[in-house]
Structure 1
């Protein structure tokens, strides 16, 4: 399968971030690169390692591209998962993928080692904890996963959350109410799929059919991924919109909500010599 290598995504990622105005989320960057490189569905939906991660191979290699660009000093990421250019980036600057790879690996351009062809030696900066957390969620038994889903939904503002999960319920696993500033409320039905593969458009259509007349909105949660066709079907014109949460979104939510995740902040102390000079 002709999947672009991580170093072949370096320049496209920079171009996409520039087109986005200098910053973008992981999803926005991925969608932009996929569109720029005109990657077909069979390439973008190919899983990286379904036993350990919900990421596709394209997303995994893009994570490496972001890591190399970060270590090179061109981009950085915020706690909210937004990647943006640093001061080092200049519009119109000429970038060489080989130079970026060699610089990050601490090798000269005359190195005999073919760094461009080598796979990275370790996980990208933002991948290690993701794979561990994703594997932990996948290992939960069904009842524990249901309890986790209810906890997440309550933490983000749902009330009256119930897990139904009864056979013949058209794929609806539960329901709840979202209240907005104690003024507006929306009835939401959701489906949770503890899954290692990709959810296709047919599953989205079936879920939409089951929710007709029963809720204002639908929410589809999976530990796997959604195909591009599934993402398009979820927001198809003229149909009830369905919000999607894939495995990556799920681990991000757990981190943000600090559910089963401990985040340790490192304090950096810097002496301001100019301050002392003004005394």
Structure 2
């Protein structure tokens, strides 16, 4: 298991005990010392821009720096301070609790040693995750809740509204060319077991056939529905189909779709709401948070 950023504070500080060190080298050495598995070493943040272990070591270094236990000497380098040497000599576990004895660290956390009042209305910070991880976890929690709300709303709309919603979603995903073209295609409902057809090219040479079911939760699509759709696709001599439902698919329906020769993509209610979130259909941005960092190139130049 990858250690938390607090568990990495002591290993990071020890690497600086003998003088100036380079952060990237510390990441490599600490990772090696921990005997992490290949999977743990390569596990990425959701942004795919940094490994989890490098991110946590980076935050351990940041917290040590804010408390005054290390000093940043130049871009990507740092060294231990007298406070850091004292911390290692004490033999105490170095974590947030230990760092709270330093005023600079308390100021960094938005509090002072004299300010002991706790706002019980605010959730307590999880001390085992980095601010990056806490932010992403909160973002995911908000989106999960919104996804559920979206799906519940979709299940209550009229059939015509549901059709228009799918048209807009498919157009945003790059199918159908335009809403007018897609609308005409989806408007031909009940055509031998097919609810609509989407053109993948302007001439309609390559087409995807659609089956859509606006069902309540628990009213799941069975294998028979998939076979019926497969039969309809055969009548159209179609090679691709998308089956969309606001409920879910039974295990036998999923297996049937895999076994059939024609490629049939299944989109259940959960996946539908995720796609709506991703392509901003039925939802909109209300706030944008910009995460920034020091522009080292600016100062180097």
- Tell me the TM-score normalized by structure 2: 0.48
Alignment of 1:220-231 (within 5 A): 220-231=243-254
- Out of 126, 145, 157, the residue aligned to residue 175 of structure 2 is 157
Q: Paired residues, what number?
A: 175
- Out of 184, 191, 208, the residue aligned to residue 211 of structure 2 is 191
Distance 1:175 1:186 in 2: 10
1:176 is matched with 198
SS at match of 1:87: helix
1:11 is matched with none
Distance 1:138 1:256 in 2: 19
Distance 1:233 1:104 in 2: 47
When residues 86 and 125 of structure 1 are mapped into structure 2, their CA distance, relative to the original with a 3 A threshold, is farther
RMSD: 3.7
Cα deviation, residue 234, structure 1 = 1.3
Distance 1:144 1:184 in 2: 25
Distance 2:46 2:269 in 1: 20
Distance 1:219 1:137 in 2: 18
1:209 is matched with 231
Higher RCO structure, 1 or 2 (CA under 8 Å, sep 6+): 1
SS at match of 2:290: coil
SS at match of 1:188: strand
Distance 1:208 1:185 in 2: 20
SS at match of 1:77: coil
When residues 204 and 268 of structure 1 are mapped into structure 2, their CA distance, relative to the original with a 3 A threshold, is same
2:19 is matched with none
Cα deviation, residue 223, structure 1 = 1.2
Deviations 1:97-154 (A, max 9, x none): xxxxxx98669xxxxxxxxxxxxxxx94541111111112112111100111122222
2:46 is matched with 77
The answer to whether residue 256 in structure 2 is matched with residue 236 in structure 1 is no
Distance 2:294 2:168 in 1: 44
Structure 1 unpaired stretches of 5+? 1-16, 24-74, 91-102, 108-122
Q: Would you tell me which structure has more strand in proportion to its own residues?
A: 1
Cα deviation, residue 207, structure 1 = 1.0
When residues 266 and 219 of structure 1 are mapped into structure 2, their CA distance, relative to the original with a 3 A threshold, is same
2:147 is matched with 130
Structure 2 unpaired stretches of 5+? 1-37, 57-123, 129-139
Alignment of 1:86-101 (within 5 A): 86-87=52-53
When residues 76 and 248 of structure 1 are mapped into structure 2, their CA distance, relative to the original with a 3 A threshold, is farther
Find the structure with the greater CA-based Rg.
2
- Tell me the TM-score normalized by structure 1: 0.51
SS at match of 2:208: strand
When residues 225 and 88 of structure 1 are mapped into structure 2, their CA distance, relative to the original with a 3 A threshold, is farther
1:46 is matched with none
Structure 1 residue runs of 4 or more that deviate by more than 3 Å after TM superposition: 103-107, 123-126, 182-185, 269-276
When residues 137 and 22 of structure 1 are mapped into structure 2, their CA distance, relative to the original with a 3 A threshold, is farther
Distance 1:193 1:137 in 2: 11
Q: Would you tell me which structure has more helix in proportion to its own residues?
A: 2
